[in-house]
Amino acid sequence: MEKITINTTGFKSEILVGGKWESVSGLLPDKGVVIITDHNVRRLYGDKFPGVPVFSLSPGEGSKKLEVIEHLADQLLEAGIDRAGFVLAVGGGVVCDVAGFLASVYMRGIRCGYVSTTLLSQVDASTGGKNGVNLGGTKNMLGTIRQPEFVICDPSMLETLPEQEYLSGLAELIKTAVIGDKELFELIERSYDNIMSRNSDLLTHLVAKSVRFKGLVVSEDENETGLRRILNFGHTFGHAVELQKALKHGFAVASGMELATAFSFEKGYISPEEKERIISLLKRFVLLDEHDLTDDQLEKIVLHDKKKTGTDIHFVFTHGIGKANVEKIPVGEVLSFYKRFRDKK
Ligand SMILES: NC(=O)c1ccc[n+]([C@@H]2O[C@H](COP(=O)([O-])OP(=O)(O)OC[C@H]3O[C@@H](n4cnc5c(N)ncnc54)[C@H](O)[C@@H]3O)[C@@H](O)[C@H]2O)c1
């Protein structure tokens, strides 16, 4: 098992990659613990949950809303959870986002930890302390940044993940590789069979590499005022595609990465070979989808994007495999690039 420590101002978060999730019992306080999970995860793993109250969400993005937080807070209150309480999330990105937000606002904040059960949450969502819910059609508009005390990433839990969920997580892993780890990119390129067969040792290694990279970025810039913005590679267009087509997060980010890669190439930041390698890898895992955003749809999403300041947007470009840079560019430039890309197809 690998233990990766994320150090942020006054706080230490331990990410445990490769161990058994059942060991979580040893990390919990003796009383005041509640589990937040979703119905699928509870059906698969609930019989081995520690003996504490369990509150279960409907699976999927629809549970990321304020009413759910309010309802859970009522349930915590009824269960007698006070400021010494502890929220344990057992689930994917949705459960961790909801439980992390709840823990950060309930009685002005109580302790929390995660057992991360999807590839997407293991490689990305459960590290870094961001949480949140959606507001109407806009993703993650309400949320906080609060580190969990621990995150357990057990590769054996990924065996039960439906294929499309697994591939969705792979897209975020490829994102990490493109923005920060050329060696990881090359490992993914040559490990197709072992990735598809969910080889447990390989997954432990891949998740640990991704968490280590994200941990370094978050330790340097927890509040996303600079470096952390590179983690949004593919997300500006990705969020627009996600909402237009109701795609799983990773597939939308993959389409966003294809666009951001083509935009980086158009700007002269990457060679034709680099562009080809990134897009081929996304195609190999069948992550790309057709999209045809109208000008209105794209403009609406980009204008609501949290990466925007005034009429400019912080857009993440790749500068070669393993390198990324954030540039403040006018929103109009993003829109006109998309039109050129769409018209060429
Ligand atoms: N906070 C962050 O930094 C951050 C980063 C990236 C993504 N996210 C968010 O994460 C969310 C997506 O996360 P996700 O892809 O994990 O989705 P998810 O939590 O909805 O899980 C996907 C599906 O897999 C099921 N599932 C979970 N674990 C399973 C297991 N071990 N076996 C079988 N089924 C299982 C769930 O019930 C659900 O149906 C999005 O809302 C996105 O915005 C957050």
Q: Give the ligand 1 atom nearest the CA of 95.
A: 19
Protein residue with its CA nearest to atom 13 in ligand 1: 93
pLDDT at residue number 344: 82
Q: In the predicted model, is pLDDT for residue 149 greater than 70?
A: yes
CA 125 to ligand 1 centroid distance, Å = 8
- Sign (positive or negative) of CA dihedral 179, 185, 189, 191: negative
Task: Note the pLDDT tens digit of each residue in 321-338.
Answer: 999 999 999 988 998 999
Ligand 1 neighbours by CB, cut-off 6 Å: 38, 40-41, 44, 59-61, 64, 91-95, 97, 117-118, 120-121, 124-125, 128, 130-131, 139-140, 157, 160-161, 165, 168, 249
DSSP type of residue 127: S
> With pLDDT > 90 as the criterion, what percentage of the chain qualifies?
83
CA 216 to ligand 1 centroid distance, Å = 23
pLDDT at residue number 308: 63
pLDDT at residue number 184: 98
Protein residue with its CA nearest to atom 21 in ligand 1: 92
Q: Please report the domains of the chain, with CATH numbers, ordered by start residue.
A: 2-159 (3.40.50.1970), 189-198+225-344 (1.20.1090.10)
Please answer whether residues 154 and 21 qualify as being in contact, where contact means their C-beta atoms are separated by less than 8 angstroms: yes
> With pLDDT > 70 as the criterion, what percentage of the chain qualifies?
98
- DSSP bridge pairs for 55: 36
pLDDT band of residue 69 (cuts 50, 70, 90) is very high
Average pLDDT, integer, range 159-176: 98
Give, for ligand 1, the residue of 8, 13, 40, 160 to mutate: max count of ligand atoms closer than 8 Å to Cβ: 40
pLDDT at residue number 136: 85
Average pLDDT, integer, range 308-320: 86
Average pLDDT, integer, range 225-232: 94
Q: CA 139, CA 218: separation in Å to the nearest integer?
A: 21
Task: Note the pLDDT tens digit of each residue in 131-141.
Answer: 999 998 788 89
Report the alpha-carbon angle 189-17-162, nearest 5.
60
Task: Note the pLDDT tens digit of each residue in 88-111.
Answer: 999 999 999 999 999 999 999 999
Q: CA 130, CA 136: separation in Å to the nearest integer?
A: 19
Q: In the predicted model, is pLDDT for residue 157 greater than 70?
A: yes
Task: Note the pLDDT tens digit of each residue in 3-31.
Answer: 999 998 889 999 999 999 999 999 999 99
The H or E element that residue 153 is part of is: strand 150-153
Residues 6+ away with beta carbon under 8 Å from 118: 91, 92, 93, 125, 158, 161, 165, 168, 169
Pairing assessment for the beta strands 324-330 and 312-318 based on DSSP bridges: antiparallel
Q: In the predicted model, is pLDDT for residue 300 greater than 80?
A: no
Read off the tokens for 162. Answer: 């439906």
Q: Give the ligand 1 atom nearest the CA of 119.
A: 16
pLDDT at residue number 254: 97
* More confident position, 308 or 288: 288
CA 247 to ligand 1 centroid distance, Å = 13
Average pLDDT, integer, range 37-62: 97
**Residue holding tokens 């349930």?**
75
Average pLDDT, integer, range 238-248: 84
First CA to last CA distance, the chain: 46
- DSSP bridge pairs for 12: 7
Please answer whether residues 68 and 59 qualify as being in contact, where contact means their C-beta atoms are separated by less than 8 angstroms: no
* More confident position, 290 or 160: 160
